[in-house]
Structure 1
Amino acid sequence: MKKLTYLLLVLLTASLAFAQRDYRNHTRSMLRQTVYNTGELGRALEGSNSTSVGLPLGTSSLEWPPFSRMTLDQIPYWGQQNGQGSGLVLRALVRGTYEARACGGITDGSGNAIAVAGVFVIPGSIVRTENYPVLADGSLNPNFNPDEAEEKIVTQYETTPPMKLRVTQTSRAWSFPGYDSFIITEYDIVNFDTLEYTNGFVMSQNAFSPSAFGLQRKYGIWNESSVTSRSREEYCRYNFSRLMTYVHSRNGFPDTVYFDRWSSPGNRGGLNSPQAVGVLPLHYDYDRLQPRSQTTYTVSDSARVWDENGKFKQPYSTETNGNRNQEMSRTILLGLDINTHNPNGFNNKQTGSTASADSSNWALFHSPYKAAYPWAPGLTDPIANQSFIDYWHGRMKPRAFSGSGYTGAFFHYMSFGPYVFRPGEHLKFAIAHVVGYGPGVAVDSVWRDAGGRNAGHGVNNGSWFSPVPSWYNTVTYPNLSGIAGITTMGSTYLQNHSLPWYVTGGNGVSSVDPARVISIRDVADRAIQMYTGKALKKYDGVQFRPESTAATGAYNTSYIPIPSPHLIVKNGRDTKNRLVWSPAVEAFTSLPNVQAARLAGRIRASLSHYLVLKSPEGLGPWTVLDTIRLRDPRYYDVDSTYGGPQMYVYRDGASLVGENYYYALISVDSLGGRSGFTNITYQITDKAAVLKLGGKLYVAPNPLILTSNYGGSTLEGDINDRIKFFGLPQRARIRVFSYSGQLVGEVMHDADLYSHEWFQISRNSQRIAAGVYFYVVEDLNDGSIAKGKFVVIH
């Protein structure tokens, strides 16, 4: 018996040892996200006030736009990361004891990230699948499925015993303009125990703060603290018609140094935190909600929280919080406890001679459902007004409907329950993480979302409805800020500047789908359309009902653009870059697998032409080098040196050795629909390595005076600090010595390139001081050596 026990222990230990935390990345869309096989999204939830909070290289946390990590003026920036971690938290009564498990979505008592793998969750499999219309070799994908996402990540994990819940999590992303700023995640939760669990809850926990770059530029730090996310310049909001909780900055945080440069056409934009970022439910399981007859619920709102079927009205909670203490016991109180429902559900139906405060506040202040609104023209719709009152009566007041929406915009909790987890039964949920260029557009200021103010108004100061701002115009209303001198919300930025390049649906999807996709509201509506498979609808004044949607997404209604080609950029023998691609996408509409989509009107046009784009940096400014028609005789089948026969070859005559560029190729159809930015390619302009040392080997700039004066950008460091070594063989060791002979740095070169860049960072990870330096280059193939010196003046 002892031997058997020992053997089982060894097997269990071995199985846990092989179940390592792992991740895959969503890289297809403009919204980048890392997915872990523990349920964590973006990163392990981090809510501390540490001054060294960062993000591992090679990962993203709701990064929008992409390619945003950089070193600027010797300061490293984490980029346009808009999330500090997301995940599920599950709780239920298991064998007479309440058990809670965090699949992400939890910190320690000080907000520091903690390990959930092996503690709350057992990591499982994780697989990333590409459904790209163009394969890596440039040919069309004969198996492309137009009714599935272009990129899908499926992971499976289990809660640790004694709770035995298995979660299959599937997240999807698309590159299609207008549909490239959301990620849809479906959850399939099954009880693989032998008995049922009661009083069960499913919570989606998210941390939002737009954005890491904006906070670093404004405050010098990216973290959760009273001087960053709780600086009272970021607001939590709640949109009732979409059940969407989201965050936006007060004015987009305009840059104080590079505003004019970054606001140029095709560039990143002069606002450092223009994002409105949030999450909404697309589906929650209604059938398996625990019936009232089996539930003991004694909270003061118990008379109004049950629907006509004896099910608890959902969501059970929609909390936001800025307190860094998000350990398990506190998380339970925020939406996982049948004995706690705080704040209570809305009491917005008048049942006696005296109207409730909720009833009065809702009717008077939730424009446009009542004419008597103090700031906007009356858009009276009594039927819609009553419909919203009926739907929200008894449902949880979102925490944004209080002062927490102003001082605690960081943590967001959305829970559903109570549920019965029966053995073998599957509970299914779906959510969408969405990011838009601001909370609304100019016309959206007539709408009112919860939050957006530091004090309530109306009856007993109990209303927290506030206008929806935008980056088109400012709005002014009482109590919008507790900071002296601040009286406006929003910005007039877009009155004088164009949208950044990464808002790909900003001018509409095509001439047959002209609705512009700019704000988070626009993006959320597209996510709903994508999931439900129904016609696009603007959910302002119309209630979206996730309890009535299908348990799995349809994914079969969006416009499908002609895909962009696979792009290869090569160094030319004349040191001019060559862009090479095949004409395969010109036959996209003939693929057998897309014929049903054509008949359904999802593919309405054939390819018209290509746009060749170039940028000195990943974030812009992107400029059009040329418009190339199909089989253009200037570029098609005229230069087999780089592309072979029947290929397009474009020569960038303005490219310079030593400069780095980004290139992209966009397909445009006859209706104006464009492909996504799916082939952005970073190119170091260079020529082939020398055969052996002995020719001209030099350093530039030399001397380096304050700045390198190189154009473009680099992935490795600050372009202004770059020193380049030229005349290198394919394999070389570069050593740099101080004037006194001390080894300062060592660089290994292993590429068929003529040059190598160095950023004045010593082997002690410090920036070198001004002075005279000597270098020794050793050819690792034949041992030959070349020497020289350079000067740095700071």
Structure 2
Amino acid sequence: MDSDSMKKYLLFALFTVMPILVTAQSRTAAFEIHNRGNLWETVRDDGRLGAPDPNNRFENYPSLDWPGGPTVMNKDDQRHYRVSAGLWIGGRRNDGTIFFVENGPFQTVNVVNVQPLRKETNYVEEPGFRPNEAEETITAEFTTNENLRVIRKSRVWSYRTYTNTIFFEYLIKNEGGQSISDVFIGFPNLLRPSYQDFVVHNGWGDDFNRVDDFVRFDPDIRMMYTWDDTPSFDLPSDVGNYLESEGELRTTGYAGYAILHHDPVSGGSPQPVTAFYAQFLNNERFFTQTSSSVTALYNILNGTDTSLQAPDNERLAPFMLMSVGPYTIAPGETVRIVVGEAVNGITQQRALLGLSAQAQLPAGLDSLRSTMNRARTLVDNNFEVTSVPPPSPEITVIPNPAEQSVSIYWDPIEDIWTNPLAPSATLRDYRIYRSSRSFIGPYEILATIRPSRPIDFSRYYDAANNRWLYNDATISLGGEYYYAVTSIDTRNVESWMTNRNEEGIRAAREPVDNTNTVRVFPNPFKLSSGFPNPNQANDIVFTNLPAKCTIRVYTSSGELVKEISRDNPNSGEEVWNQLSDARQRTAPGIYFWTVSSDVGTATGTLLIVK
């Protein structure tokens, strides 16, 4: 090839490769969310973990949220325990030069090929449930600029044994043509308990006057963890983020991550080889290629440079790193590492004791250690659980304004559920929970229903509709409630509260000053309203209404069926018993409704199935 041809070839190659590399640095990562258990997380397709921007006041994507949920909430109620996390890989090429792959926890991402994320659900209540697989698995697959193909599988179970844990399995394959040596694989993490710092003292690890986290490493279980303290001894109430307006400790958990498995390293040295934590503020420039050299980062990764290691008595906005190595990886060979992440602490009930519960906060560390030990046992068992709970039933929660009660009903599953791992462990009880505070609790037990007990069958079984029915008549007018129904088998194994209503239920709402949120329930109406009073079997409720308005219901052809004029300053609900203005019962079909008032108009559709 002559020199001119060579120049053209090089220019072609350069402009062919450049868009891939630039895109790798500037692309917006796709993400999926784990939201099955008590610990919620956002996982991205390029190796990073955590919400795209956990500080965004208009987004609720989880960032190691504990307790997690709901999907949409007031940002001040969100419990992030992490800003971001990532994956580092460094080593030596065959010619002895050092390489360093940085995928987070900041914006730099060294990828050249990213596959679409794959989220698979395997919920215990789903047909075809596979007991030896996780309930949620999200697979990320990408290739780095050093021809290392990474497959990361994150796994989640709702089972109470594992509901506070997320498992990350990494398979790192050398797809280059030459061996690489002295390879270290690291997991940088910006754990930070918790976003409630922002609520309590208007900042989340963004200023030296507000840094308040301690970090430790537990070599016995290879876990690094952190917890919330106070930025100043003058603010003792800040331990656990006491929020006076709510009378609650808002950050009650210890957050940690551990190396649960790693393939044998060269030389068999103890692992992790690096367990490093430093002050993030003023030091970020040392932890990214945008402002530091490949050699400097590699030396932090492999543990050679510990000059920024923080002393144990320093309060931090932590930068944390654990790494495993060294490895020699020949072409085609794969290294497997499993990392567990968990948050655990005192219960929501105790958190509501306020400052008097601060002395109980250290008990959260024992809970975290127990959680991580159970996680390690599961990994040692190749992710095959030894016990499966019965499924939580699918529930319907309906407020009953006229009776000032809330009804919860569900189809019976006690006779159709067979435990695939222990067929003799049949469903014994249903347990009804209620929270008058929020989706995350705390929850109280309202009742335990045992289907085999005649008195329970007589009291709670709705034979006419073949369903279990619980009527909660102990509510307060205008109060907002959250419900869950769990299942318990004969071994006393209980399911998780996977069926909670994300929006609070009120038995009676006050009038509103607009028509933006008018709702109709039940919609669709199927056979019966679900209200416990037989006289209300046909009731349909309009809610979030102005005090004074007119409701009209039309057939699909535009014929007026019912007009209701209301003027009620005490309630935002109106009940329609499905009788037309001519006192005729409505037929099944699609109906249109309007709400007209001086403060606005709302329209919608209503489906009646009988």
TM-score, normalization: structure 1?
Answer: 0.55
Residue 141 (structure 2) aligns with = 156
Whether the 8 Å contact between 1:236 and 1:409 is mirrored in structure 2 is no
Note the 1:638-649 alignment, pairs <5 A.
638-640=463-465, 646-649=466-469
SS in 2 for 1:523: helix
Residue 605 (structure 1) aligns with = 425
Residue 251 (structure 2) aligns with = 273
Letter in 2 for 1:23: F
Structure-2 change in CA distance of 1:314 and 1:781 (3 Å): closer
SS in 2 for 1:223: coil
Residue 371 (structure 1) aligns with = none
Whether the 8 Å contact between 1:316 and 1:335 is mirrored in structure 2 is no
Residue 359 (structure 2) aligns with = 492
Note the 1:594-633 alignment, pairs <5 A.
594=420, 597-598=421-422, 605-616=425-436, 617-630=438-451, 632-633=457-458
Residue 395 (structure 1) aligns with = none
Residue 341 (structure 2) aligns with = 433
SS in 2 for 1:526: helix
Residue 116 (structure 2) aligns with = 125
Structure-2 change in CA distance of 1:664 and 1:312 (3 Å): same
Residue 227 (structure 1) aligns with = 209
Residue 778 (structure 1) aligns with = 601
Residue 275 (structure 2) aligns with = 318
Cα distance in 2 for residues equivalent to 1:410 and 1:125: 31
SS in 2 for 1:225: coil
Q: How far apart are residue 780 of structure 1 and its match?
A: 5.5
Letter in 1 for 2:489: D
Structure-2 change in CA distance of 1:779 and 1:131 (3 Å): closer
Q: How far apart are residue 564 of structure 1 and its match?
A: 1.2
Cα distance in 2 for residues equivalent to 1:91 and 1:314: 16
Structure-2 change in CA distance of 1:68 and 1:754 (3 Å): same
SS in 2 for 1:413: strand
Structure-2 change in CA distance of 1:323 and 1:331 (3 Å): farther
Residue 556 (str. 1) matches residue 385 (str. 2): yes
Give 1:413's match in structure 2, choosing from 306, 313, 321: 321
SS in 2 for 1:341: coil
Q: How far apart are residue 336 of structure 1 and its match?
A: 4.5
Deviates most, 567-576 or 23-32: 567-576
Cα distance in 2 for residues equivalent to 1:315 and 1:103: 19
Whether the 8 Å contact between 2:20 and 2:112 is mirrored in structure 1 is no
Structure-2 change in CA distance of 1:571 and 1:434 (3 Å): same
Structure-2 change in CA distance of 1:670 and 1:311 (3 Å): closer
Residue 85 (str. 1) matches residue 67 (str. 2): no
Structure-2 change in CA distance of 1:69 and 1:525 (3 Å): same
Whether the 8 Å contact between 1:78 and 1:212 is mirrored in structure 2 is no
Give 1:190's match in structure 2, choosing from 164, 167, 173: 173
Kindly provide the CA deviation profile for residues 535-558 of structure 1, in whole angstroms up to 9, marking residues without a partner as x. xxxxxxxxxxxxxxxxxx33233x
TM-score, normalization: structure 2?
Answer: 0.71
Residue 675 (str. 1) matches residue 513 (str. 2): no
Letter in 2 for 1:676: W
SS in 1 for 2:240: coil
Residue 664 (structure 1) aligns with = 484
Residue 225 (structure 2) aligns with = 246
Residue 215 (structure 2) aligns with = 236
Kindly provide the CA deviation profile for residues 148-173 of structure 1, in whole angstroms up to 9, marking residues without a partner as x. 2111111111113xx11110001111
Residue 715 (structure 1) aligns with = none
Letter in 1 for 2:202: G
Residue 34 (structure 2) aligns with = 26
SS in 2 for 1:492: helix
Cα distance in 2 for residues equivalent to 1:623 and 1:639: 29
Cα distance in 1 for residues equivalent to 2:82 and 2:108: 18
Structure-2 change in CA distance of 1:332 and 1:657 (3 Å): farther
Structure-2 change in CA distance of 1:491 and 1:335 (3 Å): farther
Whether the 8 Å contact between 1:69 and 1:77 is mirrored in structure 2 is no
Residue 327 (str. 1) matches residue 305 (str. 2): no
Report the RMSD for the aligned CA atoms in angstroms: 4.3
SS in 2 for 1:171: strand
Whether the 8 Å contact between 2:159 and 2:389 is mirrored in structure 1 is yes
Letter in 1 for 2:334: H
Deviates most, 519-528 or 310-319: 310-319
Note the 1:354-369 alignment, pairs <5 A.
none
Give 1:583's match in structure 2, choosing from 384, 397, 412: 412
Residue 147 (structure 1) aligns with = 132
Q: How far apart are residue 585 of structure 1 and its match?
A: 4.8
Whether the 8 Å contact between 1:278 and 1:433 is mirrored in structure 2 is yes
Structure-2 change in CA distance of 1:777 and 1:700 (3 Å): closer
Note the 1:344-743 alignment, pairs <5 A.
399=309, 403=311, 406-408=314-316, 410-437=318-345, 491-493=358-360, 519-533=367-381, 553-557=382-386, 559-570=387-398, 577-588=406-417, 590=418, 594=420, 597-598=421-422, 605-616=425-436, 617-630=438-451, 632-640=457-465, 646-653=466-473, 660-683=480-503, 685=505, 699=512, 725=546
Q: How far apart are residue 120 of structure 1 and its match?
A: 4.3
SS in 1 for 2:242: coil
Uncovered stretches (5+) of structure 1, i.e. residues with no partner? 47-52, 108-113, 136-140, 261-269, 290-309, 345-397, 440-469, 472-489, 504-516, 534-552, 641-645, 689-696, 702-722, 732-752, 756-773, 783-794
Q: How far apart are residue 566 of structure 1 and its match?
A: 1.7
Kindly provide the CA deviation profile for residues 585-626 of structure 1, in whole angstroms up to 9, marking residues without a partner as x. 5433x35xx1xx22xxxx773222111122232132423333
Letter in 2 for 1:519: S
Cα distance in 2 for residues equivalent to 1:323 and 1:42: 17
Kindly provide the CA deviation profile for residues 270-298 of structure 1, in whole angstroms up to 9, marking residues without a partner as x. 422221111110111215x3xxxxxxxxx
Kindly provide the CA deviation profile for residues 23-66 of structure 1, in whole angstroms up to 9, marking residues without a partner as x. 111111111111110111113598xxxxxx33762421111112
Note the 1:35-54 alignment, pairs <5 A.
35-43=43-51, 53-54=55-56
Whether the 8 Å contact between 2:70 and 2:502 is mirrored in structure 1 is no
Whether the 8 Å contact between 1:563 and 1:585 is mirrored in structure 2 is no
Give % identity. 23
Cα distance in 2 for residues equivalent to 1:27 and 1:15: 33
Q: How far apart are residue 85 of structure 1 and its match?
A: 0.8
Cα distance in 1 for residues equivalent to 2:131 and 2:416: 15
Structure-2 change in CA distance of 1:71 and 1:652 (3 Å): same
Question: Which structure features the higher share of strand residues?
Answer: 2
Letter in 1 for 2:279: G
Uncovered stretches (5+) of structure 2, i.e. residues with no partner? 231-238, 352-356, 515-543, 554-572, 576-596, 606-610
Q: How far apart are residue 561 of structure 1 and its match?
A: 2.0
Q: How far apart are residue 418 of structure 1 and its match?
A: 2.5
Residue 763 (structure 1) aligns with = none
Structure-2 change in CA distance of 1:587 and 1:242 (3 Å): same
Letter in 1 for 2:288: E
